[in-house]
A and B are shown apart, each in its own frame.
Chain A
Amino acid sequence: MIAAGRYADAYMVNWYSNVFPGILGRTCDRPCEPACRRGRVEEDNLEKPEPVAICRLKRVAADHKGDIGARLPKPPTKKNGKRIACIGGGPAALTVARDLAPLGYSLTIFDQDPKAGGFMRTQVPRFRLPEAVIDEEVGYILNLDVEFIGGRRIDSLKALLAEHYDAVFVGCGAPRGRDLEIPGRQAAKASIHIGIDWLSSVSFGHIEKVGRRVIVLGGGNTAMDCCRSARRLGGEDVKVIVRSGFEEMKASPWEKEDAQHEGIPILNYLVPKTFEHANGKLTGMTFEKVRVEYDTKGRRNLVPTGEPDTLYPCDEVLIAVGQENAFPWIERDLGLEFDKWGLPVLDQQTMQSTIPNVFFGGDAAFGPKNIIWAVAHGHEAAISIDQYLNAESLADRPPPQFNLVSQKMGIHEWSYDNDISNDLRHIVPWAAAEKTLKSIKVEVELGFDAATALKETQRCLNCDVQTVFKASLCIECDGCVDICPMDCITFTADGEEADVRERLTAPAANLTQDIYVADGLKTGRIMAKDEDVCLHCGLCAERCPTGAWDMQKSLIEMTYAGPACHAPAPRRNAA
């Protein structure tokens, strides 16, 4: 759709499942990209194997979509009288509201901050995610007649439950940043900040300046946001210092690159020992140099190298060494059970807690993850709440709908683009550094323009288009075997899977990818196709004289809260 310029259509597909295309298109951790076939296919073929820029293409759809107001669901004209409270106004709770409000539920979202958005608003800096994008996509949800009560912190679950909500959704995030209790922490506390709290203060304008020399501790994405923010608030000498190796850092590779690109060095194998201070003023930090050693059990340990400790002078320190869940506001006598790590005991699928009408999602559920996981939890919790309030079994969840449609239009014409591009991943353009480093509000990434977006979409290998084989039509001419550029197809004797994998034209080494096997051939052999690096170029189908191969587009329709989940489930017609 993006290739065809149907940005609004693309946006709506994305909006239904991901809820925040414009936000995620800028900030997502991209769990999809390591799974992208393009990365595997380019292995050993092109200089630098890279997946399709899926995330940034979603941003393209959001940037170019125009007005989609008319396509959004309308607030219900009639409410069903059921009231749901959401604690925390982050992505998980907003997803619950988006899924349930159009069904007639009355949603109330409580948040300690004055505006909704949670993590997306308070911790992702504005130079990565402009306020207008958050306002727009959060607005789409709040406009569904969802009540948002900002600036109200829920201090007691017991008190909230006493307000007789039909269901409560807890999406309060993982609000406590880990501290670093080493000598000097207390004495110099005025210049030492917890990363997520500092980012939040920056976001709401409470902090506008930082010292000239800043050290950021920690190797996650929060650390990257801290150092890049500091660079924009007056930090001239900003460095990131991590205990472990550069490669082991939790931050996404591109976020590390972005930080380095802005002249921020990342120093590794340095364990913090003390905060140095004079007259109550921070002067620097000392670190012990370490290296990696593996013990007899193969475990990785950091051991001191024995070199003298190093002192890095600094004016301020930002600690971004992890986040924790904390539920001091949930009374322990309510019947809500916690596990030994202090996390609520939940059903992994339904997100239901040990109090039947209390559900969790986002970082509050299973510890810190990311926005897209929070959205996924929100969808599941919404289904559960809807089923729970209709007195139905939460375990009874309909699977996603699945549809296959042939793409054949002529002998070698398909209703998808099957020509394979050899382009390398295109780079998202940046605004000029002299402009972006001056203000924390200037967005760094400019997003693809339409022409570059088109080129990037051509790198997509159409994984939605399946090669479908019909053995009864096959004459075993080997045409498909010969033409396949990736050596995916083999006709061979039947056998055990491990044995067949070895006997393929190119042995199928990726055991996580199933082999497509068909029997019923005249010679008694089987057709075995290793799907791992299939390009979906359709040449097998174009070379097939009998139409035994067909290219069929598969469409998965996820299950959302609503009538489809109610028993007896009325079958929806697949679109």
Chain B
Amino acid sequence: MTYLIKPKLHHPGLPANARGFTRRDYEGKISTLCAGCGHDSISAAIIQACWEMDIEPHRVAKLSGIGCSSKTPDYFLGNSHGFNTVHGRMPSVLTGANLANRSLLYLGVSGDGDSASIGLGQFAHLMRRGVNMVYMLENNGVYGLTKGQFSATADKGSASKKGLANADSPIDTVSLALLMGATFVARSFSGDKGQLVPIIKAAIGHTGAAFIDVVSPCVAFNNHSGSTKSYDYVRAHNEAVNRVDFIQSQDEITADYAPGASVDVPQHDGTVIRLRKAHPEYDPTDKVAAMNYIQQHQALGEVVTGLLYLDSDASDLHRNLNTVQAPLNSLTERELCPGPAMLDKINASLR
């Protein structure tokens, strides 16, 4: 961390996006996390993704719970809406906000403690319901704010900084999200922005519950030789099944790949997710096969990354509930009190 405010000066050649903003305009306050924290890289990846997608910062709501990861929304998108909820309660507050105003882009930021321990139930139900959001789980396997105890995602047998082995079984949040019905599931690594940024962009483009588990080493407590969530371990065991290109408009589709090497998955809104395959046999649209593959490779000690599952025909909570398109705060008395004739009609339908 640093006490200084990041200088306002920027590179003279810093480009602006279609909204006229530079990448620096998507930054937030200076981070107070430890130097070298993976979470800061994830914040930078979110900034990059939002800048590249020409997102208007004031159309974004970022919600988080409690923990190191949940502090990070202060460090990106300084001009967006934010809500720091009670520990583990980000999913329910976000669900409520989303129901009230579906026109915003919802970005939930959480950690392994916030999502896999105290908030596990909330996490599961949000995935079930298909709330239209991007759920970023910044996963470091330890409770950093309370001096590095094992979290619920720490691998069995991995060691603490003092050398004690973890006896408990880990919760695999990716498998859990798949089981619970998430329609976009990915895993990435904070130290690989080349992979992470396009995944965030694709998740933002996805309609439905998009879950990204980002392995994010804790430099202070979990970046040692006995850890399975250290920079070195993840780099050595990273099995990327594919690389994602998120293509926003039809005319951008220019790059040619060898047949079979890539597959284009069109989305509802006209965007395209192009998957450049690293493992030819991996099919991210087959949920059961994906779950099998992840489990098999996890048993080998590998960290499977990439876009693991994608349901391009996903539905979301609003469609399921058949809610009104307009944000609730824009509804006037005329829509909310449609008059006795409508009331009679409703009553009649219930008789």
Please report A residues at the B interface, Cβ cutoff 8 Å.
40-45, 411-412, 418-420, 422, 475-479, 481-483, 485-488, 506-507, 509, 522-523, 533, 535, 537, 539, 542-546
* A542 and B36 contact, Cβ closer than 8 Å, known pairs A40-B12, A477-B191, A486-B11: no
The residue among B8, B9, B24 with the most chain A CB atoms within 10 A of its own CB is B9
Contact across chains for B44 and A482 when beta carbons are under 8 A apart: yes
Q: Are B41 and A45 neighbours in the complex by a CB distance under 8 Å? A: no
* Set of chain A residues within 8 Å of B4, measured between Cβ atoms: 412, 418-419, 537, 539, 542
10 contacts between A and B (CB under 8 A): A420-B9, A477-B37, A477-B38, A477-B191, A477-B231, A479-B37, A482-B43, A506-B14, A542-B2, A545-B36
Quick check: B2 and A544 within 8 Å, CB to CB? no
Contacts of B10 in A (CB 8 A): 45, 485-487
The verdict on B346 contacting chain A, using a C-beta distance below 8 Å, is: no
Known: A412-B3, A478-B41, A478-B191. A506 touches B9 (CB 8 A): no
Band of interface residues on B: 20 to 34
CB atoms of A545 and B219 under 8 A apart: yes
Contact A422 B8 (CB under 8 A): yes
Query: Once the chains are docked, how many angstroms separate the CA of A543 from the CA of B193?
Result: 18
Could you tell me the distance between the alpha carbons of A501 and B232 in the complex, rounded to whole angstroms?
28
Selected contact of A543 from candidates B24, B35, B38, CB within 8 Å: B35
Rounded to whole Å, the gap between the CB of A548 and the closest CB of chain B is 10
Q: Are A475 and B231 in contact (CB under 8 A)?
A: yes
Q: Which residues of A are found within 8 Å of B191, using beta-carbon distances?
A: 476-478
Q: A412-B2, A475-B219, A537-B4 are in contact. List 6 more A-B contacts (CB 8 A).
A: A41-B12, A412-B3, A475-B231, A479-B41, A485-B24, A522-B232
Among B10, B34, B41, the most chain A Cβ lie within 10 Å of the Cβ of B10
A488 to B12, CA, bound (A): 11
Asked whether, in the complex, the Cβ of B231 is within 8 Å of the Cβ of A420, the reply is no
B6 interface neighbour in A40, A411, A483, A544, Cβ under 8 Å: A483
The reply to whether A545 and B35 contact each other, CB–CB distance below 8 Å, is yes
Closest residue to A488 on the B side, CB-wise? B11
Given contacts A475-B231, A543-B36, A544-B35, contact A537 B7 (CB under 8 A): yes
> Which 4 A-B residue pairings sit nearest by Cβ, starting from the closest?
A545-B36, A482-B44, A420-B7, A44-B12
The 8 Å CB contact of A544, one of B14, B36, B44, is: B36
Within B158-184, the residues touching A (CB, 8 Å) are: none
Asked if B73 lies at the interface with its beta carbon under 8 angstroms from chain A, I say: no
A residues within 8 A CB of B24? 485
> Which residues of B (207-236) have their CB < 8 Å from a CB of A?
217, 219, 223, 231-232, 235
Does B40 sit at the interface, judged by CB under 8 A?
yes
Would A533 and B11 count as touching, CB distance under 8 A?
Answer: yes
Residue of A nearest to B35 (CB): A545
Contacts of A40 in B (CB 8 A): 12
Q: What is the distance, in angstroms, from B228's C-beta to the closest C-beta of chain A?
A: 16
> Is the beta-carbon distance between A506 and B11 smaller than 8 angstroms?
yes
Contact check, B36 vs A522: say whether CB atoms are below 8 A apart.
no
Complex alpha-carbon distance, A481 and B24, angstroms: 13
B231/A476 in contact, CB under 8 A: yes
Residues of B within 8 A of A523 (CB): 235
Q: How far is the CB of B78 from chain A (nearest CB, A)?
A: 15
Whether, in the assembled complex, B1 has its beta carbon less than 8 Å from a beta carbon of chain A, the answer is: yes
Within 8 Å CB of B36, what residues of A?
475, 477, 479, 543-546
| CB-defined contacts of B231 to chain A, threshold 8 Å | 475-477
What's the Cα separation between A41 and B38 when bound, in Å?
Answer: 29
B338 on the A face (CB < 8 A): no
Whether A542 contacts B1 by the Cβ 8 Å rule is: yes
B13 within 8 A of A: yes
The interface residues of chain B lying within 8 Å CB-to-CB of A533 are: 11-12
Chain A positions within 8 Å of B217 at CB level: 477
A533 to B2, CA, bound (A): 21
Distance between B290 CB and nearest chain A CB, rounded to angstroms: 28
A485 touches B7 (CB 8 A): yes
Q: How far apart are B113's CB and chain A's nearest CB, in angstroms?
A: 21
Give the complex CA separation of A483 and B43 in angstroms.
Answer: 11
How far does the alpha carbon of A380 sit from the alpha carbon of B6 in the complex, in Å? Answer: 44
**What residues of A have a CB within 8 angstroms of the CB of B35 in the complex?**
411, 479, 542-545
Closest chain A residue to B217, Cβ basis:
A477
In the bound complex, residues from chain B placing their C-beta under 8 Å from that of A478 are 41, 44, 190-191, 193
| A487 contacts across to B, CB distance below 8 A | 10-11, 14
**C-alpha spacing A509/B191, complex, angstroms:** 27
Residue contact A45 to B9, C-beta cutoff 8 Å: yes
CB proximity of A27 to chain B, nearest CB, Å: 31
A81 to B37, CA, bound (A): 69
Q: Which residues of A sit under 8 angstroms from B14, Cβ to Cβ?
A: 44, 487, 506
Binary interface profile of B, 97-112, with partner A (CB < 8 Å = 1, else 0)? Answer: 0000000000000000
CB distance from B9 to the nearest CB of A (A): 5
Closest chain-B Cβ to A550's Cβ sits at a distance in Å of 13
B94 to chain A, nearest CB (A): 26
By beta carbon, the residue of chain B nearest A546 is B36
- Contact check, B223 vs A475: say whether CB atoms are below 8 A apart: yes
What sequence of 0s and 1s flags, for each residue 312-335 of chain B, a beta carbon within 8 Å of any chain A beta carbon? 000000000000000000000000
Q: How far is the CB of A93 from chain B (nearest CB, A)?
A: 43
A477, A483, A486: the one within 8 Å of B9 (CB): A486
* B48 to A, closest residue via Cβ: A482
Chain A residue contacts of B43, Cβ below 8 A:
482
Interface pair A412/B1, CB less than 8 Å apart: yes
Compute how far the CA of A478 lies from the CA of B1 in the bound complex, rounded to whole angstroms.
14
Interface centre among B6, B7, B37, B190 (most CB of A within 10 A): B7
